Structure 1
C-alpha cells in the first residue's frame, strides 16, 4: 500500500574550514498521500545573531539568495510573507506563506499552500544552533505534502537548497568579518 524512498546527496563545496552543506530528501506515499522531506544543514562562520539578521532580512534575498530570489513582508508569527522561488531548470513559483514560528536567533518557520493543502502544502523551517567556536549550524528543512509533492522534489532541489545554504553562509561570514574590522 505505502512506500518509502530515501536518497542522500552531499556537496563538497566548503564555505569555511571543514564546512559544507549536506542534504537529503525522503519520499513517503500512500495511495492518495505524498510527502517529501528535504533536510539540509551547514556550518557558518558567523554568530547566530548575524545569521538570523541575514535570514530575516527578506527584502535583501534578491541580493544573495539563488533559490528564493525575492521576498517581502514582516517576519512575525501569524504574518503573511511573499516569496518567489526559482528552482534550477524550472519556472519561478510565487507563494504567500504564513509565518508559523519565530524564535529570534533560533527558529523560523512558514507554511505555504498552492490552491489547497491537499494539492500542495510546504512547511519550511530554519533552525540555528550556536556552536562552541562562535559559529552557527543552520538547519534548512522543508516538508512538502499533497498530490503535487512527488513532482516537486528531486536531486536538483537538494542542490538548490545547498546553494542557498552556501550563499547565506558566505553573506553572514562576510558580515561577521566586516563587523570585526576596526572602524
Structure 2
C-alpha cells in the first residue's frame, strides 16, 4: 500500500479536512484507513486490541512515506471498548471506524466508547458492511440513534457498505 491508494476514498472525495486534525481510529486492524489519514497530514492514534498491535505497528512502519510522516509518527495504542476508553481524552477532531461491527454483544461497549470520545463535539465516521446476521443495520438505525445523531452519507449497493457520519446528541 502507498499513501496514494484508494483506501479511505470517501474522506478524500468529500474533502474531509484531515491535515493537522487529531484523529483516533477504533478497531484499526491493519491500519489502512488510519495510515491513509496520517499520510494526508492527520495527527493519528490507531487503536485495537493488544493482540493486534504488533502487526498494526509493523504496518505503520512499512507504510512510512519516503519523505516521512507529514505531521508525526502515528501512535499505536491498545483500546478495549467499554473498558479502558476513559484512558483516552475526549478532545478528538475525528473518530474513524472501518468495518468493526461483527458482534452484537460489543454494541454497548462501542456506544460507551464513542460517547466518551465524541463528548466535545467530535464527529465520527463509521463505515460498515451491513451484515443482517450480525445485526449491523439495527446498530445504526435503532441502537446508536438513542445517543447520537446518525446520518447515512454514502451507500454502496454492490458491496452493501454504508458510511455514517455520527455526532453525540447535545443532551448526552
User: Could you say whether these structures have the same fold, taking a TM-score greater than 0.5 normalized by the shorter chain as the test?
Assistant: no
TM-score (norm 2): 0.26
Higher strand share: 1
Larger Rg: 1
The structure with higher relative contact order (CA 8 Å, sep 6+) is 1
